[in-house]
Amino acid sequence: MPASSHQIILFDGLCNFCDASVQFIIDRDPCQRFRFAPLQSPTGQALLEQFKIDRQRTDSVVLIDTRRNRAYTKSTAGLHIAKQLSLPWAFTAVLFAIPAGLRDVFYDLFAKYRYRWFGKKDACRLPTPELRARFVDSAASA
């Protein structure tokens, strides 16, 4: 199925936590709803521009829902992703009851310190051959 019919998760390809999160999502996405691209990739940059998302204010996760032509950032992106994963992760949708502004305070705090806590890579990691089809920018993916 072409990437345009999937939801695309843009992630920080240099962040160890973000890389682990991509692997976590892949393992819990049995319907393969999601495709992936690093924010730093040409596809990532093009999608940020297309959806008018300020790269300076978005440095960790963006969910592009190509079916609805919408983009979600920060905690809202995370919750939209989690609610589509296998149980028990889908139950995190109850957190939508918390206003986005309040959720994003905690999201921003975590995002600010994620490199310090989990480390940072020098370059994006290439996916395994088995996972390459799940990445939009196979040649430049993490």
Taking alpha carbons only, the member of 83, 87, 113, 111 closest to residue 95 is: 83
**pLDDT reported for residue 139:** 43
Residue found by looking up tokens 């918390």 in the block: 98
Domain ranges of the chain: 3-129
**pLDDT reported for residue 19:** 87
**pLDDT reported for residue 53:** 92
Q: What SS3 class is residue 50?
A: helix
Positions in the chain short of pLDDT 70: 1-5, 122-133, 137-142
**pLDDT reported for residue 130:** 67
**pLDDT reported for residue 140:** 42
Taking alpha carbons only, the member of 73, 75, 62 closest to residue 103 is: 75
pTM of the entire predicted model: 0.80
